[in-house]
Structure 1
């Protein structure tokens, strides 16, 4: 098992027998800057073990409490580098992801998170533009200016409208972040809730406007499943109330629910 000194790790969260896991692994192995990779799972199987063995990757098995936030925290904590990207097993990363990460975070003194623009993968085709993607790009437009990366007011205004940050595209700088990173209790807004807490901290939200992450949308993905769950609406409302009075939150949640239909299949 080769260990690289990039101070970065891709921690792949794997479960079940995803037909896309190997493609995800390949995209990480093909990075222009070689980096550390591990597989983390709370559902060990012969398939996942074979993938780890085939590519000589460390396999970390969560034998404790299971769930989205618990599994993400487990994977995150088992990386021994400062920079950690929680890679989703169905997604694909551009070969320049780590190269661009290291280049961009070198421009700030106190990075919190680094994230990129993204495209969707639907039925094997890459989709770079649709209503949801374009709306998120508009919301994140202020962060195209490096001078605003450390502006708390700007990033909180962005988050007050919705969760425009693509979770799989995010790299976390552990020394500057709280522990645990993700809080239990959320099933669909666990990432948005984390961005909201981190947005209050001193440091930079480093945004790369290049499409370097490809998020797969399919009927068995967690994103698609949650869209049909009423729990999502409840959590969205809780998040809006962190920024707005109740009457504004009720208006925003109707608009946000409509925009999420882009993920429906």
Structure 2
């Protein structure tokens, strides 16, 4: 058993899935790769066969959080990265993961900075990315990785952690990481829960993950029906009185425009 697994969450027939798989196969450090899906089809099984990837079918409850938890549970390794089918990883992602987590005694999660993929082009510099990097500035110092206070203050202003950029250290995480109910902020809710635990949020400032922005992505669909605003308010209420949470929700909503195409 290798130390790390990429657990790909695949849905229907994404034209970007093969590019994601190739980026995982091209890692400088050999790693496990599995695929989990609740929508099995010939396209997905064909790619799994082509690249010799074990496929697991979720026949239970479906949904974003349920599918992520299913993929997480199927990964039989110390460290698990839930890879989103549309996204891409730079070749040095796992290499940096294994190097960085050796710097602390009890890592909870490891995550990297990220860029965006828009129309096939890599974007590293826009308003949203600048704001998130500014929010994460304290975690560039190893001194603050294990500080509950620092990471909770960061999360109290929003979620600068890109979900596909995160690797979970299973022995220091619960069996179920994501709660059902949210469609947009399920990752922010998970970070809030994990931020209460003793251990380190290990941050690598290198942009080693590329998050694809396109009209068929789940993020774009959620923004289209304004589901995110209600969830943002619920999350801000975990850190602030309701009147402050309302103000922050309105301000935070402007960041959603960065996902417009």
Q: Taking structure 1 as the reference length, what is the TM-score of the superposition? A: 0.97
Matches within 5 A, 1:194-209: 194-209=190-205
Matches within 5 A, 1:50-199: 50-199=46-195
Structure 1 gap ranges (5+)? none
CA distance in 2, matches of 1:144, 1:181: 25
CA distance in 1, matches of 2:185, 2:210: 20
Checking the alignment, whether the CA contact within 8 Å between 2:111 and 2:166 is kept in structure 1 is yes
Partner residue, 1:8: 4
Could you give the per-residue CA deviations for residues 6-39 of structure 1, whole angstroms, max 9, x where no partner exists?
3100000001111110000000000000100001
Checking the alignment, whether the CA contact within 8 Å between 2:80 and 2:170 is kept in structure 1 is yes
Between the two proteins, the alignment pairs up a number of residues equal to 261
SS at match of 2:103: coil
CA distance in 1, matches of 2:99, 2:175: 26
Checking the alignment, whether the CA contact within 8 Å between 2:73 and 2:175 is kept in structure 1 is no
Q: What's the CA shift for 1:227?
A: 1.1
Partner residue, 1:218: 214
SS at match of 2:219: helix
Q: CA RMSD in A?
A: 0.7
Structure 2 gap ranges (5+)? none
Deviating 4+ runs (over 6 angstroms): none
Could you give the per-residue CA deviations for residues 120-167 of structure 1, whole angstroms, max 9, x where no partner exists?
000011110101000000000000000100000000000000010000
